[in-house]
């Protein structure tokens, strides 16, 4: 792969990303959550198994959604130790 070929592949990918961003941005904005967050991700795939390199650019729009639970779970095989009360000074 020559530097000129590498640059041509990168330029094609950048142009496709720009085109998809411009085409889909307004629709993606509609998916924003209550705080205005949304994401557009791009995936670029290069396939050099053909006489001409195939460049495929995919965009995905997603609404930000976060849910979390944090728990502490005791080991059921470990007996609980009873600790002596701390002395009062």
pTM for the whole thing?
Answer: 0.67
Q: What is the pLDDT of residue 64?
A: 65
Which carries the bigger pLDDT value, residue 33 or residue 19? 19
Given a contact cutoff of 8 angstroms between Cβ atoms, the answer to whether 10 and 18 are in contact is: no
**CA 75, CA 54: separation in Å to the nearest integer?**
53
| Res. 81: pLDDT tops 90 | no
| Res. 55: pLDDT tops 90 | yes
Highest-confidence segment of 8-17, 33-42, 73-82: 8-17
Task: Find all residues with CB under 8 Å of 62, minimum gap 6, and list them.
Answer: 31, 38, 39, 41
Decide: residue 80, CB within 10 A, 0-12 exposed, 13-18 middle, 19+ buried.
Answer: exposed
| Res. 88: pLDDT tops 80 | no
**CA 18, CA 22: separation in Å to the nearest integer?**
6
Q: What is the pLDDT of residue 66?
A: 65
């Amino acid at each position: 792969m020559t530097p000129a070929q590498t640059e041509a592949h990168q330029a094609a990918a950048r142009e496709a990303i720009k085109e998809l961003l411009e085409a889909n941005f307004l629709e993606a904005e509609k998916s924003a959550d209550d705080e205005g967050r949304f994401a557009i991700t791009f995936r670029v795939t290069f396939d050099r198994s053909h006489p001409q390199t195939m460049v495929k650019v995919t965009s995905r729009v997603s609404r930000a959604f976060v849910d979390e639970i944090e728990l502490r779970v005791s080991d059921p095989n470990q007996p609980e130790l009873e600790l002596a009360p701390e002395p009062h000074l």
